[in-house]
A = this chain, B = another copy of it.
């Protein structure tokens, strides 16, 4: 598993950098387009709110992306946050590996964009 050293990019950052600014539209107008309140979008853009599944569906539609794109960004951010918040989970005693069927890691534990 790839370590997350740096703070993952917050979805709000992408919205701002890659959509809001290039499109030269206001938060107010984008919120209206997305069908959410100005507050909801503002919170996300200012990284004080999370992209929920419902929000991801709206973003995917507006910006012709996948909902997973947004949810993955949020997931990586949340995971990084959780690790930072508490290390209690490190006290969990692993089951003996020889008793476990072995799943390998899934891709995109980081922000991956295919081209």
Candidates B1, B75, B91, B114; contact of A105 at CB < 8 Å:
B114
Distance of A113 from chain B, by nearest CB (Å): 6
| A74-114 interface with B by 8 A CB criterion | 75, 78-79, 81-83, 85-86, 88-95, 97, 99-109, 112-114
A contact face: mostly helix, strand, loop, or mixed:
helix
What residues of chain B lie closer than 8 Å to A72, measured between beta carbons?
Answer: 75, 106
Q: A residues engaging B (CB < 8 A)?
A: 1, 18-19, 22-23, 33-35, 52-54, 56-58, 60-69, 71-72, 75, 78-79, 81-83, 85-86, 88-95, 97, 99-109, 112-115
12 A–B contacts, CB within 8 A, in A order = A1-B67, A22-B101, A35-B88, A53-B79, A54-B82, A64-B95, A64-B97, A66-B106, A67-B79, A72-B75, A104-B115, A107-B112
